[in-house]
Amino acid sequence: MKKKFLVVIDESKELKNAIHFAAQRAKNTNGSLSMLYVIDHAINAQWSKVENLIEQEETSEAKKICRSWAQKIKEKFSIDTEIILKLGNRTDELVKLLKEDKDIRFLVLATSDEGESPGPIIKSLMSAKIKELSIPVVLVPGSIEEKDIDLIV
């Protein structure tokens, strides 16, 4: 069974470090890489047609972002990537996926290199949700260079 590395896709600039680390580790260990993109529910439930339209547009954009990353990963690391799209709260969907998919062995996240906060996903996971995780969480510094990541993977 291959080790599966999971990266949560968002719009942060440090995401590239998490992807680089996870893709290189997957390649070096003959593992695989999965990307999770969680789409927020549309805000106003009383307008269901508008809500559905917003969610469809956000899903389309999420697919574009994930396909773009998957293509870059394929070109640079020569590995295929599994794309997982979920609808809901990012932290809740992440924890749910980790409970469902027993092949995921590592969650790889990058820390924010700006301000005091480590980043929204890390911050929410380090609350009560951390007790629900049953796999290692790898935190890649957002300020680290790709060449330095290559030295440690």
Q: Tokens 């899903």 correspond to what residue?
A: 59
DSSP string, 31-77: -EEEEEEEEPPPS-TT-HHHHHHHHHHHHHHHHHHHHHHHHHHHHHH
Q: Which residues of 125-137 are buried (b: 16+ CB within 10 A; e: fewer)?
A: beeeeeeeeeeee
Length of the chain in residues, anyone? 153
Token couple for 39 = 């789409």
Domain, as residue range, for 49: 4-152
Q: Give the pLDDT score at 47.
A: 66
Using CA of residue 130, residue 135, residue 136, residue 140, what is the dihedral sign? negative
The pLDDT of residue 49 = 73
pLDDT mean over 48-53: 75
Number of domains present in the structure of the chain: 1
Q: Which of 17-26, 31-40, 116-125 has the lowest mean pLDDT?
A: 116-125
Say yes or no to pLDDT of 45 above 70. Answer: no
The answer on pLDDT for 80 being more than 80 is yes
The percentage of the chain sitting over the pLDDT mark of 90, rounded to a whole number, equals: 69
Q: Is residue 113 classed as helix, strand or coil in its secondary structure?
A: coil
Distance (Å, whole) CA 75 – CA 118: 30
pLDDT score at 115: 72
User: Is residue 52 predicted with pLDDT exceeding 70?
Assistant: yes
Q: What is the CATH number of the domain that holds 48?
A: 3.40.50.620
- The answer to whether residues 104 and 136 touch, using CB atoms and an 8 Å cutoff, is no
